[in-house]
Amino acid sequence: MAPHSPAQVRGAALLADPLLNKGTAFSSEERAELGLEGLLPPAIQTLGEQTRRAYEAFLGYDKPLNRHIYLRQLQDTNEVLFYGLLTRHLEEMLPVVYTPTVGEACRRFSEIYRRPRGLFLTYEDRHRYREILRNRPGGEVDVIVVTDGQRILGLGDQGVGGMGIPIGKLSLYTAIGGVHPARTLPILLDVGTDNEELLANEHYLGRRRHRVSGEAYDEMIEAFVSAVEAELPGTLLQWEDFATAHARPILSRYQDRLLTFNDDIQGTAAVALGALTTATKVAGTALTDHRIVVLGAGSAAIGVADMIRTALVEEGLSEKEAADRFWFVDIDGLLVDSRTDLTPEQRVYARDEAEVRQWGGDAPGLARVVGEVQPTVLIGLSTAHGAFTEEIVRTMAASCDRPVILPLSNPTSNAEADPADLARWTDGRALIAAGSPFPPLTVDGREVPVAQANNVYVFPAVGLAVTACRASRVTDRMMVAAARAVGDCAVRAGTDGATPLLPPLASMRDAAREIALAVALAAVEDGVAPEATEAELREAVTNAQWTPRYTS
């Protein structure tokens, strides 16, 4: 099924195809040949002129959600112009296209719905998934992002509204990673919703039943994976915003069977490790010196610890020594081995009950753990707004010269702390990365940007890498390589005294090539990609990165 070409599409149908439409950029000759005369205003513009006009229109909307809707309509009209605009104003538009504004777009998906994009696969159609996959627009697909809408950002169950996440995610695969937009496919697995507000909403566009669960849910996931294997073998399948109860089992079940990863578990982890790598270099310490307290013990938090642990083992620690660098706190207090409610993944990090008994009291919370452990790193993936209090942060800073504090929960309303407060409470000594965008800090009279630990630093580069090197799997070492490369890019981009923990977002397309190269090299070393030299991989990565421009 080859993508259609302009020769097959003419007139109004051509203007309605976002992948082929050039709008006012069609030349006089093209207008005559393609039946477009009279269908467009007479002015002929370059992509640059169109981009400037579109940017002014973007600025004309005052509310972020209205700007989001405008950009989505532009994408549905002219993809090259959309990506030309997005890549030119990436730092400014990222919070509009993706988090935090995409959360509001998911919440109001049924209200603001305009045009279909991607595929909606319902539970009832599970025996026909392969047939429905053939209805996709275009032909071959390099990257699929799929969600079931159950755990959208920090907002919970959004049902069919979760489709906003794969759409937004894939626009960043293209804008940053350079994956061709025609070769991306967003998918929403509609298994219903347990959000009573949505079920009662007369405008809700999804399946009006409670969520499928248990064996029926697992069978549906298997039906979906089997259909993808049969119809689109070799396509990168990214799992996005699945609930903790499903995310880890799905990843464990399929990561050795096909080219797949879970961005919430592995992407978040790689960005956190990247920020920690940079912080360790800035502080002049070693990764193995850290004592790490984590607030939250869901799949993303455990994923972060797993990746840091892998890096610690690579640096010479045993598995047990690496696990012993962590203290996890959830809503019920410190994870200890006497607790009966822990998953196998959480139990790896459970502390010895005897060790904790010496502290006195029961089930110590975050403040007590920070006081006893004197951590060098504090990571938040709890969605508990304000959980990193002044008392806790000052306690940490009293025993650590350069505390690394990562309030990673998003959107902004779920952040464990405001970076400005963290800087004030630590006299500007804290090394900070947040999960959502925050304004720059003023430290010693100069502005220091707050690094946003956004997964955009990793997943677009992974998509570019596996496409370029033809990888068959995504391994842990590939993700650790991505994390280390993120840290290297940040250090190179830093200036004296003001090295942000992550690279500047404005230059992420360039950084994506370096990160993709590191991932591709690891894929070859792990034997999951064909043999190739570094020079060959660099050339393949460069050639694979699509740039928005019009063709004749």
- What residues act catalytically? 98, 169
The answer to whether residues 127 and 223 touch, using CB atoms and an 8 Å cutoff, is: yes
What order of strands is seen across the sheet that includes strand 143-147?
119-122, 184-190, 143-147, 236-239, 260-262
Q: For the chain, give me the number of helices (H) and strands (E)?
A: 25, 14
Distance CA 428, CA 198 (A): 44
- What are the helix (H) ranges across 315-352? 319-323, 344-347
Q: What SS3 state is found at 100? A: coil
Kindly give, in sequence order, each residue whose CB lies less than 8 Å from that of residue 352, ignoring residues fewer than 6 positions away. 336, 337
Asked if 276 contacts 445 with a C-beta cutoff of 8 angstroms, the reply is no
**Alpha carbons 417 and 403: distance in angstroms, whole number:** 14
Distance of CA 405 to the CA centre of its chain: 20
- The total of other beta-carbon atoms located within 10 Å of residue 440's CB is 14
Handedness of CA 406, 409, 411, 416 (dihedral sign): negative
**Residues 380, 416: contact at Cβ < 8 Å?**
yes
Helices 476-493 and 459-469, interaxial angle, to 10°? Answer: 120
Tracing tokens 């800035």 back to the chain, one arrives at: 282
The string of DSSP letters for 254-320 reads: HTTTSSEEEIIIIIHHHHHHHHHHHHHHHHT--GGG--EEEE--SHHHHHHHHHHHHHHHHTT--HH
Which ranges in 417-533 belong to alpha helices (H)? 419-425, 459-469, 476-493, 508-525
* Closest by Cα among 183, 118, 87 to 456: 87
Token pair of 182 as six digits: 């025609």
- Per the structure block, which two tokens stand in for 218? 């697992």
C-beta of residue 198 within 8 angstroms of C-beta of residue 159: yes
List CB contacts of 506: < 8 A, sequence separation 6 or more: 90, 91
Cα–Cα distance, 508 to 151 (Å, whole number): 27
What would the two tokens of residue 343 be? 């998953």
Q: Kindly give, in sequence order, each residue whose CB lies less than 8 Å from that of residue 79, ignoring residues fewer than 6 positions away.
A: 18, 19, 181, 548
